[in-house]
Each structure stands twice: as C-alpha cells, then as structure tokens.
C-alpha cells in the first residue's frame, strides 16, 4: 500500500465528494479493492443525488475501472444491470458492506480506507497535512460540508 494515505476524518464525506479514487483494505485478511465513485456533471434529481461506483479491474490504475452500481442519496446502493459482474461478486459485496458500516458511523478494527494523494472532489494533488488526512483540499472540503 505504498503511496497511499489513510483517510482519518469523515470517510463517508470523502467517498461522496464527487470524483473519489480510494482503496479499502482489510489488514486481517490482506484483501483490498480499489474503487472510483463519481457524480455526474449534472444531477437529474438534486434531492436524490446519484454516484456511479466503479471497481479497478485491470493493470492500469487510471483507466481500468468497470461500473458495478449506483449509490443514491449516499445510502441506497443498486447493482447496475449492465455490469459484467454479478451482484454477489466480492468487490461489490465489500463496497456495500463498507457503506453500511459508514452509515452506522465506524469501521471495525483493521479495515482502512486510503486515498491516492488526490482530492476526492476535484482531483487536485493534496499538499497540506490537513488536506492529506481528510482526502479533500480546503476549498472542496468547505463545499462538501
């Protein structure tokens, strides 16, 4: 997990910021998955915002992401019917489990969420300690509140 930084503050806000690239890792099992959670440029229904959930499925860390589902209002996950993956694939189960735990307020010991050094909202390189810990730059953090 070199070059990754653990998100230590409001993980859910980071994941729903708008263009979030992150890895969730379980230290107990050694398993990890990398996801990209993105919002469309325009929300069709601002009262029920949607986020597209993609999982890394290849060697290119920048472009090998496959759509697996959608997250509505930051809490209701729906498997994308055109996904190449089954709804019960491990990467999708982990994402659903992660969101359920975050809605309850915490992650169990040994499960960590890492960002890749870029703002989860705009993709800018993070440079200050506060921004690196949060996974969001100062301007984007203010917008996400």
How far, CA to CA in Å, does 105 sit from each of 17, 98, 108, 130?
17, 11, 10, 21
Domain boundaries, the chain: 5-144
Instruction: Say how many CA atoms lie within 13 Å of 80 toward its Cβ.
Output: 17
What pLDDT score does 77 carry?
96
**CA 70 – CA 90 distance, rounded (Å):** 16
What pLDDT score does 106 carry?
83
Q: Indicate the SS3 state at residue 27.
A: coil
What pLDDT score does 9 carry?
75
What pLDDT score does 145 carry?
58
What pLDDT score does 13 carry?
87
pLDDT tens string for the chain (145 positions)?
556 788 877 899 889 999 999 999 999 999 999 999 999 989 998 889 999 999 999 999 888 999 999 999 999 999 999 999 999 999 999 999 999 999 998 898 999 999 999 999 998 999 999 898 889 999 998 886 5
User: In whole angstroms, what separates CA 36 from the centre of its chain?
Assistant: 6
What pLDDT score does 143 carry?
82
What pLDDT score does 1 carry?
54
Q: What does residue 6 show for φ and ψ, rounded to 5 degrees?
A: -70, 135
The pair of three-digit structure tokens given for residue 113, joined into one six-digit string: 């969420």
């Amino acid at each position: 997990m070199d070059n990754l930084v653990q998100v230590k503050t409001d993980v859910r806000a980071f994941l729903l910021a708008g263009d979030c690239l992150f890895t969730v890792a379980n230290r107990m099992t050694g398993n990890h998955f990398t996801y990209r959670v993105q919002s469309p440029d325009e929300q069709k229904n601002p009262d029920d915002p949607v986020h597209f959930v993609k999982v890394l499925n290849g060697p290119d860390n920048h472009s090998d992401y496959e759509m697996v589902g959608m997250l509505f209002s930051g809490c209701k996950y729906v498997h994308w019917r055109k996904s190449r993956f089954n709804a019960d694939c491990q990467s999708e189960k982990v994402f659903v489990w992660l969101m359920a735990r975050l809605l309850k307020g915490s992650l169990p010991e040994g499960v960590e969420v890492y960002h890749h050094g870029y703002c989860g909202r705009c993709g800018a390189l993070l440079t200050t300690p506060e921004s690196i810990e949060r996974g969001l730059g100062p301007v984007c953090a203010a917008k996400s509140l």
